[in-house]
Amino acid sequence: MCVTVVGSVAFDALETPHGKRERILGGATTHFALAASFFTDVRIVGVVGDDFGPEELAVYERRGNIDLSDLMRVPGERSFFWAGRYEDDMQVAHTLDTQLNVFATFDPQLSPAACASSSVFLANIQPDVQRRVRAQCAGASLAGLDSMNYWIESARDSLLETMRTVDAIVLNDAEVKMLTGEPNLARGARWIRELGPRILVVKQGSYGACMVTDAGFFFVPGFPLELVVDPTGAGDAFAGGFFGYLDSHGDGDPSEGCLRRAAVYGSVLASFAIEDFGSERLQRLTRDEIVTRYGEFRRLTSCEHAPLRQPALV
Amino acid sequence: MCVTVVGSVAFDALETPHGKRERILGGATTHFALAASFFTDVRIVGVVGDDFGPEELAVYERRGNIDLSDLMRVPGERSFFWAGRYEDDMQVAHTLDTQLNVFATFDPQLSPAACASSSVFLANIQPDVQRRVRAQCAGASLAGLDSMNYWIESARDSLLETMRTVDAIVLNDAEVKMLTGEPNLARGARWIRELGPRILVVKQGSYGACMVTDAGFFFVPGFPLELVVDPTGAGDAFAGGFFGYLDSHGDGDPSEGCLRRAAVYGSVLASFAIEDFGSERLQRLTRDEIVTRYGEFRRLTSCEHAPLRQPALV
């Protein structure tokens, strides 16, 4: 089993109330791949420049199951760069700078191995490109996508067309409202699922996440951390945990129980991601920590307040 | 067992995207009492004017266990009146008019029966008055309070002094941030519990509610209704379900499991309250509907996705 993720590999400059980083490894695929690698094999489809060196490569290679054969390197150019700042409440990222660089013309041709992946996740990139990648992974039994306000506004029709080709959509609540015109979560969720995708995950920031399927609504609260250092990558870490768990447990037709456990694992990975800058926390995360926090998450909504059966991680 | 609630009895003018009401029965004690009456006996301590007639009295009397002996009537004056409007997202109430009328000089002397209640809830009124009522109910084994931004700003020291005299605090997340200066929920919750109250409930609007006790955090999501008609009174209905259930199940020292079930029942009552204007939905609510929705709430966070043990309502 293997999940292929296509999207940005980047350098980020980050500033939060708890400090700053001038230039650290980031991008949606980085957070996704590190999170998913605890559950299944991962393949990154992306593009970088000359500034991407051995130190960055080592971050993925240390995990032992992240394949970089589909990571293109463009000589003489620089990698995608993003600079952002968070205010006190950590809810909204203010973009200070965006340099697309090699990413501006990103339109990947996947290797046969990537095309043959059991799952594919289309991280937040131009919806036409997402759709062309989806078409190349026609045999994937589970396909998901993320997007953002920029594409909802500037490429709405293409985004809707792409959404119709996947099984699972991951958006935040502001994006759901913008896309559907519905301030009400339940009506907005119905609108999106009527496009075709049977699984919708609505990320709700510090409030957690909500999953909607044929079986109804499932909610995972935000983990009540006293110190949130940097929210960057939380959504991608969620997606990595979610699709990584599903890829390792399914044949593309996961049970409702499996989907719900996947949503909790996604929340577990997101909760660790925000404990340090960029992907620093995921880089030093252990399987034991994941298992422990899964149990803590379950107790956050348990009325029985007794030890809960702990499922095997993989 | 009996819970005494002290606070406003009012007439409300309400305007939401789903319609309007020119003048309907409202006030914190109305929503609280109707909700709590499904679990235990209730006693209202409040004040009304000549405009409060048989039609209003009948709303409480139909429940059969709401005692109005401590509801004072002031001849020649009018009841408290509030007019508010909600925008599309139903998150924020915009006050259009407030007429305190009889409520301006409200400072109740409780009857011996009210003083002897097993529980007391100090709904959102001036904190000095809350504290004087609390002192009269010295024997209550469980005391709780609600407040609002106005008192946090204008009577902060008195509010903090009152908070130290109760077991349970109910506030919304904006009020927690304003009171503690902490944008982080976990740190804000710790700050408040260090004042003394062992139970803190943070209402999170459409995201649900969070309870913090010595055992940690417990989250109940917002019920995913497709149609929210009027959020007025949701917080008071939550408090009524919460304290009503606790009063009926405890001796003032409820177990963590009991507290968590109370938080779910509070959420159940709040979810019904917002289905219609003012208290109209609670007035026609049935015990069977409460039991059914309790099960639906439990499934919203269950990973097992199987029928859950249903506790007896009372």
Give yes or no for residue A314 having a pLDDT over 70: no
Kindly list the residues from chain B whose CB atom is less than 8 angstroms away from the CB atom of residue A187.
226
Closest partner residue to B186 among A89, A210, A225, by Cβ? A225
Kindly list the residues from chain A whose CB atom is less than 8 angstroms away from the CB atom of residue B90.
183
Residue with tokens 């159940």: B268
| Cα end-to-end distance, chain A, whole Å | 12
Predicted TM-score (pTM) of the model is 0.95
- Note whether A266 contacts B: Cβ–Cβ < 8 A: no
Mean pLDDT across A85-111: 91
Interface contact B189-A224, CB threshold 8 A: yes
Kindly state the percentage of chain A with pLDDT values over 70: 96
Per-residue pLDDT at B305: 58
Interface contact B303-A298, CB threshold 8 A: yes
Kindly list the residues from chain A whose CB atom is less than 8 angstroms away from the CB atom of residue B185.
206, 224
- Listed in order, strand segments (DSSP E) in chain A are 2-6, 10-16, 19-26, 41-48, 66-67, 71-73, 80-86, 93-99, 119-122, 142-146, 168-172, 199-203, 209-213, 216-220
Closest partner residue to B305 among A186, A227, A260, by Cβ? A260
Rounded Cα–Cα distance for residues B7 and A312 (Å):
51
Residue with tokens 């999953």: A211
Which helix or strand (DSSP H or E) is residue B22 part of? strand B19-26
Give yes or no for residue A14 having a pLDDT over 80: yes
B313's CB contacts (< 8 A; 6+ apart) are B38, B39, B287, B290, B291, B294
Rounded Cα–Cα distance for residues B66 and B46 (Å):
13
Return the structure tokens found at B260.
């968590």
- Note whether B181 contacts A: Cβ–Cβ < 8 A: no
Q: How many angstroms away from the CA of A230 is the closest CA of chain B?
A: 13
Mean pLDDT across B161-178: 97
A92's CB contacts (< 8 A; 6+ apart) are A86
Rounded Cα–Cα distance for residues A208 and A205 (Å):
6
Window 90-109 of B: residues touching A by CB (8 A cutoff) are 90
Window 134-173 of B: residues touching A by CB (8 A cutoff) are none
Q: Which amino acid is at B173?
A: D
Give yes or no for residue B13 having a pLDDT over 60: yes
B14's CB contacts (< 8 A; 6+ apart) are B20, B21, B24, B26, B83, B84, B85, B230, B232, B277, B278
Return mean pLDDT, chain B: 95
Per-residue pLDDT at A18: 92
Return the structure tokens found at A235.
């959504």
- Note whether B218 contacts A: Cβ–Cβ < 8 A: yes
Kindly list the residues from chain A whose CB atom is less than 8 angstroms away from the CB atom of residue B225.
184, 186
Closest partner residue to A303 among B204, B227, B264, by Cβ? B264
Per-residue pLDDT at B312: 53
Nearest CA in chain A to B191: A226
How do residues A143-178 score in pLDDT, each as one tens digit?
999 999 999 999 999 999 999 999 999 999 999 999
How do residues B118-146 score in pLDDT, each as one tens digit?
999 999 999 999 999 999 999 999 999 99
Give yes or no for residue B313 having a pLDDT over 90: no
Distances in whole angstroms, Cα of residue A269 to Cα of each of A37, A171, A262: 11, 17, 11
How do residues A266-289 score in pLDDT, each as one tens digit?
999 999 999 999 999 999 999 999
Per-residue pLDDT at B307: 44
Q: How many angstroms away from the CA of A72 is the closest CA of chain B?
A: 40
Per-residue pLDDT at A174: 95
Mean pLDDT across A30-45: 98
Nearest in space to B5 (alpha carbons), one of B133, B188, B106, B104: B133
Kindly state the percentage of chain B with pLDDT values over 90: 93
Per-residue pLDDT at A313: 53
- Classify the complex by whether its ipTM is higher than 0.90, answering yes or no: yes
- Separation of CA B171 from chain center: 10
